[in-house]
Amino acid sequence: MDSEFLIGLGVVGILIAANGVFVATEFAYVTARRARLAERVEAGDGTARVALDGMRNLDRYIASSQLGITMASIALGFIGEPILAHALEPTLEQLVGAFAPAAAHAIAVAIALFLITAAHLIFGEMAPKTVALQKPESVALFVAWPMRIFTLVFSPVISLLNGAGNFVLRLFRIPVTPIGHDPMLSAKDLAHAFASSASVGIISRRELF
């Protein structure tokens, strides 16, 4: 393995990891319990404050995550597939025969595309999503600062995309409601939510009282 291939493989790994961070952010920020993070904020945890701020501005941070996922996915396809195909081609030429270099190239591209797609789905999508759903608060804290920095750097692009998305919604007469700022629930709504949670075992009566 030459150094160029190893460097390329490292870049592929970084892109998959970055994609995983963006995917995990979406699920963690949506499912994390704000009350738990608020407790950490009151205790002076600055990272929890950053995470909570992101959860209170979900529309912006989800747009930021989607931008990151798109950028990482495009870069992964642009960089990863040629690197793997180039590495596989010599071996396939020996198997297929020197008389069919075009076939070897086509097979190498197909295998490389499959490997990149599989790695992308498993390590860049499915695994981060599962971890974020199982430990949303921990993941929200882990991604808080990287997402804050990314969102600040790409703030103009994110604002443009949000504006374009809202414009399209208005064209179809769909109300544009900011997410992340939930309306206040009535006492009746809260009582019903607690009763439903207790009935299915999500929380116990001891936790209620």
Question: Cα(71)–Cα(151) distance, rounded to whole angstroms?
Answer: 13
Domain boundaries, the chain: 3-178, 185-209
Q: What DSSP designation does 143 have?
A: H
Give me the percent of the chain exceeding a pLDDT of 70: 82
Reply yes or no on whether the pLDDT at 138 is more than 90. Answer: yes
- Please tell me the predicted confidence (pLDDT) of residue 48: 97
Residue, of 163 and 200, whose pLDDT is higher: 163
| Over residues 117-123, mean pLDDT | 96
Q: Which of 54-63, 106-115, 169-178, 179-188 has the lowest mean pLDDT?
A: 179-188
CA distances from 154 to 14, 110, 159, 160, 181 (A): 19, 34, 9, 10, 23
Question: Cα(54)–Cα(56) distance, rounded to whole angstroms?
Answer: 5
- Please tell me the predicted confidence (pLDDT) of residue 165: 87
Within its chain, how far is the Cα of 48 from the centroid?
Answer: 19
- Please tell me the predicted confidence (pLDDT) of residue 185: 47
Q: Which amino acid is at 161?
A: L
In the predicted model, what is the mean pLDDT of the chain? 86
**Contact present, 118 and 14 (Cβ < 8 Å):** no
- Please tell me the predicted confidence (pLDDT) of residue 183: 44
